[in-house]
Amino acid sequence: METVTLNNGVQMPVLGFGVYQIEPKDTQAAVEAALAAGYRHIDTAAGYGNEGQVGAAIKASGIARDDLFVTTKLWIQHAPTGNVQEDSKRSFHNSLNRLGLDYLDLYLIHQPIGDVYSEWRALQEVNTQGLARAIGVSNFHMDRLVDLIDHNQIVPAVNQIETHPFYQRAADQAFMAEHGVQIESWGPFAEGRNNLFTDPLLSGIAAEHGVSVAQVVLRWLIQRGVVVIPKSGRPERMAENFDVFGFQLSEAQMEQIATLDTGASLFFDHRDPAMVSRLGSHRSN
């Protein structure tokens, strides 16, 4: 498996398995199938409600802990104790316990909402203690990211953001690279929106290589240096998504795919006041 080196020297696999929107009752079987297919990088979150099932799958697999890269995320803290930093550390340990692990490879602030500075201080603590090998953020636009960088000791290792052929984030990726932050894609297939799987351009490139559109998209992201975590509940699709290292897109094909960029989210805007309020009202353990 190819890896990228994070800003603290930690090696992160470029391809992982995501469990967003997989029902808890289906998660253990899905993760077990992904691990059997060869995945060693698993991405979950407290907000997904399936950390326990991910942990059960890891335990059942018998795979050595050192061979795995496990990510989970801190949901927006509402400070019942009045101390967001302490509540964030408590949430971290709750996630660690649900996963049944002694440490995490990557821990992320899930949303750029609320007292992210107290949350980040908590993440810095667990990182310094060796409980999280790397720490980062998710869904941060560049103004929020640089503000966090400028006012804290540790630079986020990763920013996990919506990235796919219709919202390519090239300028954001360049900015993050300048600051030592690794871009990671969520929603690499745009959940099939804009008819991604039947797009004529992507379908034509897929036919040239004898692969699927999904494989072309993952290969395109990986060649750009983007870490990617596709999700599927079907073992045959998991295997297909994992099989993206046996072909190479040409420079011309990469440039063709670049023309699909609309420059806008297909899901939601973290700068939309209604969306911020909606996310901020959601509670998670």
pLDDT: which is higher, 152 or 285: 152
Q: Is residue 44 over pLDDT 90?
A: yes
pLDDT of 49 over the 80 cut = yes
Predicted pLDDT at 171: 97
Per-residue pLDDT at 285 exceeds 90: no
Supply the pTM of this predicted model: 0.94
Average pLDDT over residues 34-40: 97
Average pLDDT, rounded, for the chain: 95
Residues marked active site are found at 48
pLDDT at 281 over 90: no
Amino acid at 102: D
Q: What's the confidence (pLDDT) of residue 279?
A: 81
* Statement: residue 272 has pLDDT above 90: no
Could you give the count of Cα atoms lying within 13 Å of 209 in the half-sphere of its Cβ?
23
Cα angle 266, 268, 274 (rounded to 5 degrees) comes to 150
Mean pLDDT over residues 189-205, rounded? 97
Residue 270 clears pLDDT 90, i.e. is over it: no
Which tens digits make up the pLDDT trace of 99-157?
999 999 999 999 999 999 999 999 999 999 999 999 999 999 999 999 999 999 999 99
- pLDDT at residue 206, as a whole number: 98
Res. 92: pLDDT tops 70: yes
- Specify the pairing of strand 3-5 against strand 11-13: antiparallel
Query: Is pLDDT above 80 for 195?
Result: yes
Assigned CATH topology for domain 3-281: TIM Barrel (3.20.20)
**Predicted local confidence at residue 266, as pLDDT:** 92
Comparing 16-20, 77-81, 252-256, which segment has the lowest mean pLDDT? 77-81
pLDDT (mean) for 208-220 = 98
CA dihedral (251, 253, 255, 258) positive or negative: negative
Task: Report the alpha-carbon distance of residue 250 to residue 256 in Å, rounded.
Answer: 10
Cα 102 to Cα 48, 97, 126, 196, distances in angstroms: 20, 8, 12, 40
Q: Tell me the average pLDDT across 240-267.
A: 97
pLDDT in tens, 236-250: 999 999 999 999 999
Helix pair 84-99, 116-128: axis angle to 10 deg? 50
- Which CB contacts under 8 angstroms, 24+ apart, belong to 208-213? 208/253, 209/247, 209/249, 211/244, 211/247, 212/240
Answer whether residue 269 shows pLDDT above 90: no
- State the pLDDT at residue 79: 66
Amino acid 280: pLDDT: 72
Domain ranges of the chain: 3-281
Q: Residue 81 — pLDDT band, cuts 50, 70, 90?
A: low
What's the average model confidence in pLDDT over 248-261?
98
